[in-house]
Every structure is written in C-alpha cells, then in structure tokens.
C-alpha cells in the first residue's frame, strides 16, 4: 500500500477563553504564523485558524483554533463556540489580577456548557511572561487554581514566543494520545 495510507489524521477543536486584552489573538497568531502583531485590534466575531502538526512520523494532527476575539463572557454566541471543544485554554495576563480572578466565571461557563458530558482538556495560560517584573498573580495562586480545578498550568509570552509552540504541542500530543 501507499505510505500515505498508514498516516493517522486527527482533528481537534481548541478554544481560547479569557478577558479582552490578555493576549488570545496574539497567542493564536504567534502559533499559526509565528508573527507578533504589535497593534491591538479588537477582533470582531470569531477568527478560526487551522494548524497542522506532525506529531510522529505516522500521526498528523489538525488543530482548529477558535479565538473568541472581542466577545465578552456575557455574549450569547459564546457557548456555541465553546461547544464541542476538545481543549479549552483559560488565558489571563500575569500583570492583571482581575483577568486571573475572572477565570472563575469562564470556568463556570465551560462547566455549564459541558454539563452531563465529558469535560474538554483544560489548560491554564498565564500570558505575558516577558512582563514578569509587573506580575500581580503569584505562582502559587496560578498553581492552586489549576490543581483545584483539574486544569494543566502553563506560562507563555505571545510577544517573545516563549513557550507558545511547546504548550500547543503538548496539548496536541495529549489529545492525540501521543506521549
């Protein structure tokens, strides 16, 4: 048979949640284009990107990445975007305690959306580690929130690119059952 027949193609939906300006759009563009947009543009509606990753010589994974853009937690459409997600990234800005605190509400929304169904793989993203001198969320708070809620804790900087690809790769590997 053709070698192509032996390659496993997997598809997963990944949704980024969190307050405005925590860096969701920047994370997505860093990961999908390796390009950091320096201008802040409030995205209207939802942007959707597909990123293909070769995880092993025989496993290829396509992540469809949904950026909620400028939508807030109260927006009526939001549960439609969350629905069917295989992974959810709870994103906050390490220099803004409020964006961390508000993740409780984002988590409640996800729990409500998935009630009675298996929860998605959940990831905590503390973004803007390049600004760690301005950090207002202590590491133990980050870790405790993750541990208390079954969330996998990560840090990254969309600006420098630090840990963006590594985190997304870990998520893809987990979803694909590749260890």
Q: Contact residues for ligand GDP (CB under 6 A)? A: 20-26, 38, 40, 127-128, 130-131, 157-159
Nearer to ligand GDP, 23 or 120 (CB): 23
Q: Which is nearer to ligand GDP, 135 or 174 (CB)?
A: 135
> Which residue number, 71 or 86, has a Cβ lying nearer to ligand GDP?
71
- The whole-angstrom separation of Cα 67 and Cα 33 is 14
Residue 77 Cβ vs ligand GDP, minimum distance, rounded to whole Å: 16
Report, in Å, the least distance between residue 16 CB and ligand GDP.
8
Helices (H), 34-154: 78-82, 97-101, 103-113, 139-149
107 vs 102: CA distance, rounded Å: 9
Backbone angles phi, psi at 45, to 5 degrees: 75, -155
Rank residues 38 and 76 by Cβ distance to ligand GDP and give the closer one.
Answer: 38
CA distance 154 to 164: 9
CB of 115 to ligand GDP, least distance (A): 26
């Amino acid at each position: 048979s053709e070698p192509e027949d032996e390659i496993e193609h997997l598809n997963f939906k990944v949704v980024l949640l969190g307050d405005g300006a925590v860096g969701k759009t920047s994370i997505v563009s860093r990961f999908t284009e390796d390009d950091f947009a320096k201008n802040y543009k409030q995205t209207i509606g939802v942007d959707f990107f597909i990123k293909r990753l070769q995880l092993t010589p025989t496993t290829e994974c396509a992540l469809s990445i949904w950026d909620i853009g400028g939508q807030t937690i109260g927006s009526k459409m939001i549960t439609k975007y969350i629905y069917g997600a295989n992974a959810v990234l709870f994103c906050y800005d390490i220099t803004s305690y409020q964006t961390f605190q508000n993740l409780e509400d984002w988590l409640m929304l996800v729990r409500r959306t998935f009630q009675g169904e298996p929860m998605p793989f959940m990831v905590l993203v503390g973004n803007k580690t390049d600004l760690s001198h301005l950090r207002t969320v202590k590491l133990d708070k980050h870790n405790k929130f993750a541990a208390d809620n079954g969330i996998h804790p990560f840090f990254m900087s969309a600006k420098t690119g630090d840990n963006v690809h590594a985190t997304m790769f870990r998520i893809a590997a987990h979803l694909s059952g590749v260890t």
